Amino acid sequence: MNASEIILTVFQFFKKNIIVTKKIVYINLIIFLISFFLLDVILSNTYLNHKKKTCYLYEEFYYELKKNCKGLDKFKSSFPTVNVFTDEYGTRVGKNQKRNKSDKIFIFGDSFTFGVGLEFYQTYSGILSKEYKNFDFYNFAVSSYSPTVHLYKLEQQIKKKVIPKKIILFLDMTDVHDEAARWTKFDKSGKPSLSTNYIFEKNKKKEKFIHKNFKVSRSFAHYINYNLRILRRKQVSKQKENEVKTSIQAGFTYRKLEDLGSHYQGNIFNEGQNKIRQKINVISVISKKINSEFYLVIYPFAETLVYGQKIFNWENYGNSLCKDDKCILINTFEAFRNKKKKYNDWYSRFYFVKDEHFNYGGNEIIADVLKKKIFND
């Protein structure tokens, strides 16, 4: 056997062994994955089969917070899980928070005002309630609520003779779409109803199946995602302004409607504005009847601070809503602009990274503005 034959024989030997080794690795990997997922299914339906208590009460076309509830909330997979406590009114409160003051302040808003991803005392509602103990604060905010629901909640309390001294309504840019396309109907009792069943749309059969049967896999994926976010946050100081999260909902301030897809198709944008104006006018009339101060608060998305309002000016719109003494406008845009000028890492200081919602820092800015404008501090 010459040298070339020896080399060829050795090559063929290793080639066969490599092929066999690869097959063994693949087979073991397949066995491992099958075993892992089977174990996941077993654990998910036995030992881990306990439902995380939520304080959301879902009906087919409506949702609100349960009364006297203690639960957990996770807004998105990238958000931390936080505690949620509610009172006998179904409003978010601090743990063991008591109410015994005659002067009441009603707060209305959506996920920003609810305080997604934050414990109660990290939200501007919680910060104010902790500092101004001579008032009882009622935070009626729930994710994706808009003026139609705010008005309904206010009217329900007035019927029960629960009268606020002050009404603070936080108007969100997403309210334009929500008024025109989400909260478009009413049931026989006059309660607002969703235009379509958003709740069931968000809980499709496939998602329900994965959620129920693969709890270990989902936790592992969330753990990896969480640590990747930590690594990304370390790079945030180097992040350019044009890397802030952009959205369709708030894009109308700096982009043409036709560039925003179907979100504002047809007359949704104009209809949403008009409905907001109608509801604000009604709340204004009610506030005067019950002798309550009515404040309307507007705030910027991070993208608005970067790209401006060259197409539609949200601040001017807010001013127009409070024209003729209909409400007292509190514009927080300037406070955020000043912070943006001061800090290079303003985005991560005041917003959840890759999201439009305020973190604790952003909530502190809102609270500071309200202290000056409402409480004269």
Query: Is pLDDT above 60 for 326?
Result: yes
What's the CA gap between 295 and 124, in Å, rounded?
15
- Burial string for 133-172 (b: 16+ CB within 10 Å, else e) reads eebbbbbbbbebbbbbbbbbbbeebbeeeeebbbbbbbbb
pLDDT over threshold 90, residue 19: no
Per-residue pLDDT reduced to its tens digit, 263-302: 898 899 999 999 999 999 999 999 999 999 999 999 999 9
Q: Domain coordinates of the chain in residue numbers?
A: 1-49, 56-205+242-373
pTM of the predicted structure, to 2 decimals: 0.79
More confident residue, 150 or 7: 150
Residue 236 is predicted with a pLDDT of 47
Cβ 172 vs Cβ 109: under 8 Å:
yes
Residue predicted with more confidence, 39 or 284: 284
Homologous superfamily of 56-205+242-373 in CATH? SGNH hydrolase (3.40.50.1110)
Q: How confident is the model at residue 242 (pLDDT cuts 50, 70, 90)?
A: very low
Question: How far is it, in rounded angstroms, from Cα 251 to Cα 209?
Answer: 34
The per-residue pLDDT for range 343-352, each reduced to its tens digit, is 999 999 999 9
Q: What percent of the chain has pLDDT over 90?
A: 63
**For residue 211, what are the CA distances in angstroms to 38, 41, 139, 226, 333?**
15, 10, 31, 18, 40
